[in-house]
Amino acid sequence: MEEKIKYEMEFPIQASPSLLYQYISTPSGLSEWYADNVNSRGEFFTFIWEGSEEKAKLVSKKSDERIKFRWIDDEDTSYFFELRIQVDDITKDVSLMITDFAEEDEIDEGKMLWENMISDLKQILGSA
């Protein structure tokens, strides 16, 4: 199996960190922009897209700051995806930082997917 490469993206978002956190950390919030449906049982989240299901474990979270998931079916447990809210100390501008992994030939596709999903999120937040 090919080794995955870590990549990071930054998206400026005009929303308060607490509102944004609701959309990245709750099943109802995530199902509005990230997946068709999201269920959770304790620390385990099930993401559903057009009939396919992926399970992830909630690895860590910090209220109004970040949430990190690890896909369960991935043999290598060092891969994860993290959504982190960053606030500029001076301007108070809010950004959503994405950390994810993909195989080298799938990074562009992965980035495009995130751009589309974050565009949906911004629309929901009225931050377009």
Give the confidence band of 106 by pLDDT, cuts at 50, 70, 90.
Answer: very high
- pLDDT tens by residue, 56-79: 999 999 999 999 999 887 566 678
- Whichever domain contains 121, its CATH number is 3.30.530.20
Q: What's the pLDDT at 74?
A: 59
Side by side, the strands of the sheet bearing 44-49 are 4-12, 94-103, 81-87, 66-71, 52-62, 44-49, 37-41
Query: What tens digit of pLDDT does each residue of 8-47 get?
Result: 999 999 999 999 999 999 999 999 999 999 999 999 999 9
- Look up the domain containing 23 and give its range: 4-125
Q: How remote is the C-alpha of 126 from its chain's centroid?
A: 18
As for how many domains the chain has, the answer is 1
